[in-house]
Structures are given as C-alpha cells and as structure tokens.
Amino acid sequence: MIEEVHGPVIDVVCDRLPPLHQALFCAFDHEHYTFEVYRHLDERRARAIALHPTAGLKRGLPVFDSGGPLRIPVTPDCLNRLLDVFGAPLDGRPPLVAREMRNIIAR
C-alpha cells in the first residue's frame, strides 16, 4: 500500500518486503504505474522510484509485487532502435519480438 508520495519517490508498506530492484505496480483510475524498489526503510516499508508521472497517486492505494525486476527484450533487432525503460518503442516502429528478456540491472 502506498504510504507516501514525494514526486517520483514512493514509500510503500508491504506484508513481505520485496527485494531491491523488484518491480512493483499500482493500477488506479485507468492508469498503470510501475515502481522499482531501491531502498528498504525497515522490515515492512520500502522506498521505490516511480517510472511514470505520479499525478493521481495517493496514500492508501494498493501496490502489487510483479514477481521480479524490470525486464527488457534482448534481440539484435534492438540495435538502432529507440526504446523506453520497459522496452517499448519510441521511434514509431513496431514493437520488438524477442524470445529472451533480461533484467535491466545487470550484475
């Protein structure tokens, strides 16, 4: 559940603390918001960065765990393409079709 919204910084309260870099999401008023956990505040609260504008988000909205980190398509077709952080094209060309997806955070 959203506890606080400070611009792109979102504090969430969780029953089970998500790992760092985990993708979280919230759907509200026909909008879909994605966040990435970047800090644990305590055993039940995490701080996340919103990857979309946060207008409309408010305290008490439910937040869900995506089950993993943000992932993007990996294919030679990515070359010479303009993609957003989610792998969606920004260049007016068709979406990528990829059999492999990788975390945006490499280790």
Render pLDDT for 68-85 as a digit per residue (tens, 0 to 9): 999 888 888 888 999 888
Question: What pTM value is reported for the model?
Answer: 0.82
Instruction: Give pLDDT, residue 105.
Output: 80
Check the CA dihedral 93-95-97-102 and report its sign: positive
Instruction: Give pLDDT, residue 9.
Output: 97
Q: How far apart are CA 49 and CA 11, in angstroms?
A: 9
Instruction: Give pLDDT, residue 73.
Output: 84
Specify the domain boundaries for CATH 2.40.10.170 within the chain. 2-69
Q: Is 64 exposed, middle or buried, given 0-12, 13-18 or 19+ CB atoms closer than 10 A? A: exposed
- State which fold the 2-69 domain adopts: Thrombin, subunit H (2.40.10)
